[in-house]
């Protein structure tokens, strides 16, 4: 009996010594679901570690009466979480990758990009319009979206509709759609709806030719302190090589254009037969003026991780030491080259006008 007792005491003592990894997240239900999914992957990989989730509100969660594009702050959903990282109150933070700016503040890096879910946008219809599509909605129907990117593309494609800003987390937006009679439909990311288990509300999934998606949409990024090698090693195994390379190209494209959420910029990427295809576009705010191009680069994704040099600098805010440096650079160059092509054809003018109009409204 005493042997059993001492064994149990030793186990208890060991569990008391288990290292605790603190994970930061936004407070919304979707953010919690996303963080739980990343923590579940880490627990499966590291059964000897304990994980504690710390939820906090961000500026973007608190300012709900203003369109995101008007707030003029690049790190709306990330700043408070980064402060906690800096103060070592948390060891890593889980974000929707599309919320992370292409240039991170000094001292931070994206240590993992998890496998991407469907990156497209979906339409959710008011109950009285179930069975319709955007094309068959009545003239002057109001469609809610918080994104200039979606509004610009869809206005161009569906000129009979009106687009109006709708803010709040997913639960709030769905409630506004169902309970108020202001909106005939709202546009949300497919990935968020899937993670929330609300696939049954999806009335239409928008194809890239109808509405290209935001840079990084559908992927989760794990942000860490850039010099915390221990945590970088811990989360680095979560990198999905294909998602990583697609997102490096997308983020490099956006960074080179100097885009953000105050201008309509969208992308579409495909990896096929060792080729990475990147389509990128820019739009005027009302969608009347637009420009898009496609380029490709040869990129062979490794079948397994390889050890890279230890002093690799970040690419577009991302650290991925186990993925060959050469293919990361090829993906980054693809994004830069496509942006330069659009800029050479006059994209800067479209973006400058969009930025000025957005600031003036």
Inter-residue contact 308 to 325 (CB < 8 Å): yes
Domain boundaries defined on the chain: 20-118+215-360, 121-205
How far does CA 28 lie from the centroid of its chain?
A: 15
Mean pLDDT score of the chain: 88
50 has pLDDT over 90: yes
* Range scoring the smallest mean pLDDT among 72-76, 267-271, 314-318, 344-348: 72-76
Tell me which of 99, 121, 228, 240 is the catalytic residue.
99
Q: Write down the pLDDT at residue 307.
A: 55
Q: Write down the pLDDT at residue 27.
A: 87
* Residue 184 backbone class (left: φ over 0; alpha: ψ -120 to 50; beta: rest): alpha
pLDDT band at 63; cut points 50, 70, 90 = very low
Inter-residue contact 162 to 141 (CB < 8 Å): yes
Q: Write down the pLDDT at residue 312.
A: 56
Tell me the CB-side half-sphere exposure of residue 167, using CA atoms within 13 A.
12
Inter-residue contact 279 to 293 (CB < 8 Å): yes
100/113 Cα distance (integer angstroms): 12
334 has pLDDT over 90: yes
Q: Write down the pLDDT at residue 361.
A: 64
| pLDDT mean over 66-76 | 45
212/94 Cα distance (integer angstroms): 24
How many CB atoms are closer than 10 A to CB 232?
20
More confident site: 76 or 347: 347
Residues facing 260 on adjacent strands? none
Q: Write down the pLDDT at residue 302.
A: 67
73/68 Cα distance (integer angstroms): 8
Domain 20-118+215-360 CATH assignment equals 1.25.40.340: no
How many CB atoms are closer than 10 A to CB 98?
24
- Tell me the whole-structure pTM to 2 decimals: 0.88
6 has pLDDT over 90: no
> What class does CATH assign to 121-205?
alpha beta
- The DSSP call for residue 148 is H
274 has pLDDT over 50: yes
Inter-residue contact 219 to 243 (CB < 8 Å): yes
How many CB atoms are closer than 10 A to CB 237?
13
Using one digit for the tens of pLDDT, what is the confidence trace for 213-250? 999 999 999 999 999 999 999 999 999 999 999 999 99
Beta strands at 121-125 and 202-205: parallel, antiparallel or unpaired: antiparallel
C-alpha angle 155-199-126 in degrees, rounded to nearest 5: 50
Determine whether 99 is an active site residue: yes
* Range scoring the smallest mean pLDDT among 3-12, 105-114, 116-125, 179-188: 3-12
* Maximum separation of any 2 CA atoms in the chain, in Å: 81
319 has pLDDT over 80: yes
Q: Write down the pLDDT at residue 211.
A: 97
| pLDDT mean over 249-264 | 86
Percent of the chain scoring above 90 in pLDDT? 74
| pLDDT mean over 309-324 | 81
Using one digit for the tens of pLDDT, what is the confidence trace for 145-171? 989 999 999 999 999 999 999 978 888
Q: Write down the pLDDT at residue 148.
A: 92
Inter-residue contact 26 to 57 (CB < 8 Å): yes
* Range scoring the smallest mean pLDDT among 13-22, 197-206, 267-276, 352-361: 13-22
| pLDDT mean over 330-337 | 97
Please report the DSSP string for 47-115 in residue order: TT-EEEEEEE--HHHH--SS-HHHH--TTTTTHHHHHHHHTTS-SEEEEEGGGS-SSPPTTEEEEEEPP
């Amino acid at each position: 009996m005493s042997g059993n007792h001492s064994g149990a005491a030793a186990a208890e003592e060991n569990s008391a010594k288990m290292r605790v990894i603190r994970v930061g997240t936004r407070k919304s239900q979707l953010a919690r679901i996303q963080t739980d999914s990343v923590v579940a992957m880490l627990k499966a990989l590291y059964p000897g570690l304990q994980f504690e989730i710390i939820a906090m509100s961000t500026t973007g969660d608190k300012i709900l009466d203003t369109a995101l594009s008007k707030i003029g702050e690049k790190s709306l959903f990330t700043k408070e979480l980064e402060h906690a990282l800096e103060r070592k109150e948390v060891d890593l933070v889980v974000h929707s990758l599309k919320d992370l700016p292409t240039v991170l503040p000094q001292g931070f890096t994206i240590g993992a990009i998890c496998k991407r879910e469907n990156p497209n946008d979906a339409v959710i219809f008011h109950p009285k319009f179930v069975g319709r599509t955007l094309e068959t909605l009545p003239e002057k129907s109001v469609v809610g979206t918080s994104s200039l990117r979606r509004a610009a593309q869809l206005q161009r494609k569906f000129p009979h509709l009106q687009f109006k800003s709708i803010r709040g987390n997913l639960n709030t937006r769905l409630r506004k759609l169902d309970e108020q009679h202001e909106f005939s439909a709202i546009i949300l990311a497919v990935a968020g709806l899937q993670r929330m288990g609300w696939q049954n509300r999806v009335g239409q999934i928008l194809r890239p030719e109808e509405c290209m998606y935001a840079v990084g949409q559908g992927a989760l990024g794990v942000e860490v302190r850039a010099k915390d090698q221990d945590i970088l090693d811990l989360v680095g195994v979560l990198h999905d090589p294909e998602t990583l390379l697609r997102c490096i190209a997308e983020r490099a494209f956006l960074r080179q254009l100097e885009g953000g959420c105050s201008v309509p910029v969208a992308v579409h990427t495909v990896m096929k037969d060792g080729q990475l295809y990147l389509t990128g576009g820019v739009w005027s705010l009302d969608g009347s003026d637009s420009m898009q191009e496609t380029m490709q680069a040869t990129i062979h994704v490794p079948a397994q991780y390889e050890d890279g040099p230890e002093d690799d600098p970040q690419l577009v805010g991302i650290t991925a030491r186990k993925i060959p440096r050469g293919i990361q650079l090829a993906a980054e160059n693809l994004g830069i080259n496509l942006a330069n092509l659009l800029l050479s054809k006059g994209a800067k003018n479209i973006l400058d006008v969009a930025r000025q109009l957005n600031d003036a409204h």
